[in-house]
Chain A
Amino acid sequence: MDKAIGIDVGSTTVKLVVINEQKIIINKHIENTKPRIKEQVKKLIEKVKSDLKEENIPIISTGYGRKLVEDAKENLTEITCHAKGIYNALGFGGTLVDIGGQDSKVIVIDKKGRVLDFTMNDKCSAGTGRFLEHTAGKMEISVEEIGKIALNAKKELKISSTCTVFAESEIISLLAYGEEIDAILKGLHRSLVTRIVGMINSVAFTPPIMLSGGVAKNEAIKKMLEEETGYKIFLPKYPQLMGAYGAAIIAFEKYIKNSRGI
């Protein structure tokens, strides 16, 4: 059976998916990005190929390290791949908010799945997963828990700094004043969401809003985004894999469908 591979080499994690003819993910891998990306990716691809017992599977790479994937037929940016992935996963266009570890992006996708507009927040860590991870780390809470804690908080404190470094000192002084951790966490989430809403406002926004990236698993973010925008938020089954999934679909359409003339 025909298959295709998409690999998203991000700054925090490497994601790989294999899809079959029905565009269904039949194999997926997520691992932390190691310093020697080239070798790490090579090994991962070899393993996947030998597990599948197939050599000739077309690969498209994306993500910050996309040019380091030697086996890829082509590399494409995350913007194109994320749009393709989410469009196929959910079946409609709209505005995709992808909050990753290192950057966030907002991509406007039309009814046919094409990118209409995009913006990226990559100059600083505010508005990214790092912002939450870093500040949560300061309070010795794991990143998996913070969403739940924030969601259940009764009180919300305002964190005025959007800069990660400044926010950290703000948190420390709030803690020193004896403020509750959950209220601080809620404020932190709000701060990130406000940043994201700012990005949404800067593109040619079209509803509905879709959410992807590692941070999509955080329930507080989803809820607050809904509160702030007034729109229902749609999530795919594997929010973290949208880039790799999109890359795999493009690889399939370009190198299998085309070569067979369908």
Chain B
Amino acid sequence: MNVLKFIRYYLMTNLIGKPYLKRQRKIGERKIEKITGENSPLNPPLKITAYTKEFVSSHYFKGRYIEGVKPVAWVTSGAPIEILKALGFFLIYPENHAALCGARRVQMDLIKTAQKQGLSQNVCSYVRTDIGSLLSGKTPAGKLPKPDLLVACSNICQTVLHWYRMLQEYLNIPLVIIDTPFVYRDIEPHQVDYVKKQLKNVLLPIAERAAGKSLKEKDLKEVIKFSKDATELWLEILNLCAKRPSPLTVFDQFVFMAPIVEMRGDRETVDFYNTMYKEVKFRVNSGIGAIKKEKRRLLWDNLPIWFKMRELALKLAEKGINIPISTYTYAWGELAPLMDLNKDEFEVMARVYLSPILNRGAGHKLKTMADMVKRFNLDGVILHSDRSCKPYSMGQMDQRNKLIEEFSIPAMLLEADQNDENAYSEEQTVIRIESFFEMLGVSNG
């Protein structure tokens, strides 16, 4: 560690960052009060909302000064980060960063930059956003720390393999690719073995070298425990949304899920979800829903349309429609039971990272959705056919038909994109959504 850099990091994050972000939170709290006035179809958001922003921003703020203080790794959302955390790595998730750019609506500029460099518009818009950010140096986070290591795991898509190879070219640093074979039905022992070997024999030594220290079992155990606790709490929070009225909308969940993705394995994240759980539980007990009049409940499949969150949330709430659950937000909770603290850590991680929804067959997702329709009392399904995310969107047509057949409830494919506004048509989306409302028996005055 570089002492001067450490002092700078300490001063900037504690003396400047903390009070600044706190003040921003206060401003945020006042703003929230204003937007959810009497006329809003939404109830005031959870108290923890403004803090969430502070919490996530503080992570990025630390990132600005972290170089030279801690080793830095850029990782995919499904990377086995517990090993890295236990070695003291500071982590950046380019996917989350791209989502942040989308939610702040600065992504199109970055996408353009990447396309100018030759990236096709058929490439996932997260990749284009991030490569654009890397090339232009522009980011709403201020500055992203340069990594010492790249870790990509194939459990979400094949795109990340090419994406990270590109990053490796640009940054000229080691890249570890963890190959997780596709799980057609149940996880096979040889698959676990194969992934476990990669974690132990490939990722671990390279990460240790980059971190300049050896892994301690105690540290790894602790990180896994934090991951498990936070994941369990997130799952419990989502399960509370089965109640009527649901205390959260999926749009809230898309915001609140940031820490479980990019800060899992930290003690503070467990604290965060603990506080959130209590508040959500209180709302459930008091019968306070996320929207004022919940008449219909839907399921959302796939990633959000980051740049249209607020508009969609309001449009639905105005008609008394809530989306209390999605396969996407649930994916970050459903693996909690697999995190068995009494088993060999590498075995546990191999199982967990083989199991994400995108590494399993379309039938698995259908089953998850069918289960949600019953458990969350849903009246319909919106399947976001996301142009960028092919692995998530594949099979949706069949899933939709099966859901209609099995439950006789309406299900609609909504063609859009998580980040690319050029693949989104406002008028056509509105027609689809309004037609769907009319099918559900809520029309437009």
A82 → B minimal CB distance (Å): 10
A77 pairs with B397, CB closer than 8 A: no
Complex alpha-carbon distance, A8 and B443, angstroms = 17
- Whether A242 sits at the interface, judged by CB under 8 Å, is no
- Whether B401 sits at the interface, judged by CB under 8 Å, is yes
- Whether A87 sits at the interface, judged by CB under 8 Å, is no
A115 pairs with B413, CB closer than 8 A: no
- Whether A160 sits at the interface, judged by CB under 8 Å, is no
Complex alpha-carbon distance, A74 and B443, angstroms = 9
B427 → A minimal CB distance (Å): 7
A243 → B minimal CB distance (Å): 12
A115 pairs with B428, CB closer than 8 A: no
B428 → A minimal CB distance (Å): 5
- Whether B432 sits at the interface, judged by CB under 8 Å, is yes
B426 → A minimal CB distance (Å): 12
Across the interface, B438 reaches (CB within 8 A) one of A64, A79, A122, A202, namely A79
- Smallest CB-CB separation from B432: which chain A residue? A120
- Smallest CB-CB separation from A73: which chain B residue? B445
B435 cross-chain contacts in A, Cβ below 8 A: 77-80, 115, 118
B401 cross-chain contacts in A, Cβ below 8 A: 204
- Whether A253 sits at the interface, judged by CB under 8 Å, is no
B415 pairs with A123, CB closer than 8 A: yes
A76 pairs with B443, CB closer than 8 A: yes
A77 pairs with B428, CB closer than 8 A: no
B130 → A minimal CB distance (Å): 26
Flag B406-445 by CB within 8 Å of A: 1 or 0 each. 0000100101000000000101100110110011000111
Tally of chain A residues near chain B (CB < 8 A)? 19
A122 pairs with B428, CB closer than 8 A: yes
Complex alpha-carbon distance, A211 and B106, angstroms = 44
**8 A Cβ contacts from A99-133 to B:** 114-120, 122-123
Q: What's the dominant secondary structure at chain B's contact region? A: helix
- Whether A240 sits at the interface, judged by CB under 8 Å, is no
- Whether B404 sits at the interface, judged by CB under 8 Å, is yes
- Whether A75 sits at the interface, judged by CB under 8 Å, is yes
Complex alpha-carbon distance, A84 and B119, angstroms = 46
- Chain B interface residue count: which class? 10 to 19
B404 pairs with A120, CB closer than 8 A: no
B397 cross-chain contacts in A, Cβ below 8 A: 202
A78 cross-chain contacts in B, Cβ below 8 A: 431, 435
B356 → A minimal CB distance (Å): 28
Complex alpha-carbon distance, A64 and B431, angstroms = 8
B431 pairs with A120, CB closer than 8 A: yes
A91 → B minimal CB distance (Å): 21
Instruction: Report if A80-B413 is in contact (Cβ < 8 Å); known contacts: A74-B444, A75-B444, A120-B431.
Output: no
B425 pairs with A80, CB closer than 8 A: no
Complex alpha-carbon distance, A78 and B430, angstroms = 12
- Smallest CB-CB separation from A201: which chain B residue? B397
Interface centre among B413, B415, B443 (most CB of A within 10 A): B443
B443 cross-chain contacts in A, Cβ below 8 A: 74, 76, 80
Complex alpha-carbon distance, A123 and B414, angstroms = 12
A122 cross-chain contacts in B, Cβ below 8 A: 425, 428, 431
A77 pairs with B413, CB closer than 8 A: no
B346 → A minimal CB distance (Å): 44
Complex alpha-carbon distance, A75 and B430, angstroms = 13
B422 → A minimal CB distance (Å): 12
Complex alpha-carbon distance, A120 and B436, angstroms = 12
A115 cross-chain contacts in B, Cβ below 8 A: 435, 438-439
Flag A200-228 by CB within 8 Å of B: 1 or 0 each. 00101000000000000000000000000
Taking Cβ atoms with an 8 Å cutoff, the residues of B that contact A are: 397, 401, 404-405, 410, 413, 415, 425, 427-428, 431-432, 434-435, 438-439, 443-445
Taking Cβ atoms with an 8 Å cutoff, the residues of A that contact B are: 64, 74-80, 114-120, 122-123, 202, 204
* A/B interface sample: 21 pairs, CB < 8 A: A64-B431, A74-B443, A75-B444, A76-B434, A76-B443, A77-B431, A77-B435, A77-B438, A79-B438, A79-B439, A80-B438, A80-B439, A80-B443, A114-B439, A115-B439, A117-B404, A117-B410, A123-B428, A202-B397, A204-B401, A204-B404
Given contacts A77-B438, A78-B431, A116-B439, list 9 more A-B pairs with CB under 8 A.
Answer: A64-B431, A74-B444, A77-B434, A79-B438, A80-B438, A115-B439, A117-B410, A120-B428, A122-B431
